[in-house]
Amino acid sequence: MGPTASGKSQVAISLAKRFDVELVNVDSASVYRHMDVGTAKPDAQTRRTIPHHLLDLVDPTETYSAARFREDALQVIAEITGRGRIPLLVGGTMLYFRALQSGLNDLPAANPALRTQLEEQARDEGWAALHARLHQLDPLTAARLKPGDAQRIQRALEVVLSAGRPLSALYHETTRQPLQARVCCLGLWPGERSWLHTRIAQRFDQMLNDGLEQELRDLRQRYVLHPDLPAMRAVGYRQMWQYLEGELNWQDMRERGIIATRQLAKRQMTWMRSWPDLVRLDCLDPSLPVRIQQAVEGFLSGNP
């Protein structure tokens, strides 16, 4: 695991050349089909050479949850280990990592009809209005969410309206089922924040050069999309959507995309600071390949 642009994919590929592993995607945007440039998916040659799992699972019009990821990941892990190989989970969606490793609370399943209704209300009234409604129904959850945190506000309202009880209460009443497996957690961590900021800007520019604009234009032709869909709220796609709608010029779109990516990296690193048993590895350390190999070999030998 690690923040965006920290070099996770390159490390994973190097490990796949050294150990008998299959890669499992842990990125919430890479589960969407035809969203390749903006998610920096591995190219076709890499995917032919090294087995990859949990990529291109759903259309951008669909919702993919942490609960569904856990279910899919558990199945894939069982299949990989059944072949006598090692699952290598790679990505930066920390909620997915936590869902897999620690389990999830037993909350109501997604309600597509109610979710559509909430999205329509948000388009008419704005997410701030729905946040105010959530504050009436579940003040504890609303207090920890920002008025613009559309995805979490939507889910919290969906839960309280479906279950008749606030999300905050259900969290305390339900239990989790931790992953029954030995896990070696490797975290890429930039020793210099300025290096990561430079990498983020370079990678965003590379996505623009690789055709992020045309990719989103094609997606809008292929599917009936709107900006409140989880897929279209992904960093890069959100800003490019605003550009295509004439809400931003090219320079503002680029700057906002880079800023949003930096904010994403900051949130990812916040998760990692308190992650239990995390082996933190400096991305800039010249001996990084050796340190990673030592960590993995120690884990496989039973001495993590």
> In the chain, which residues fall in CATH 3.40.50.300?
8-104+177-300
Range from 56-65, 155-164, 171-180, 200-209 carrying the lowest mean pLDDT: 171-180
Domain with CATH 1.10.20.140 in the chain: 112-173
Confidence band, pLDDT 50/70/90 cuts, at residue 113: confident
Residue 89 has pLDDT above 80, yes or no: yes
Using DSSP's 3-state secondary structure scheme, residue 187 falls into strand
Residues 134, 94, 48, 281: what is their CA dihedral angle, to the nearest 10 degrees? 160
**pLDDT given at position 163:** 83
Stated pTM of the model: 0.82
Q: Which CATH number fits domain 8-104+177-300: 3.40.50.2000, 1.10.260.30, 1.10.10.10, 3.40.50.300?
A: 3.40.50.300
pLDDT at 170: 75
Q: Is residue 21 very low, low, confident or very high in pLDDT (cuts 50, 70, 90)?
A: very high
What is the average pLDDT score of the chain? 92
What CATH number does the domain located at 112-173 have?
A: 1.10.20.140
Alpha helices by DSSP H, listed for the chain, are 8-18, 44-49, 66-82, 94-102, 112-125, 127-137, 139-143, 150-163, 167-173, 193-210, 212-222, 237-244, 250-273, 288-300
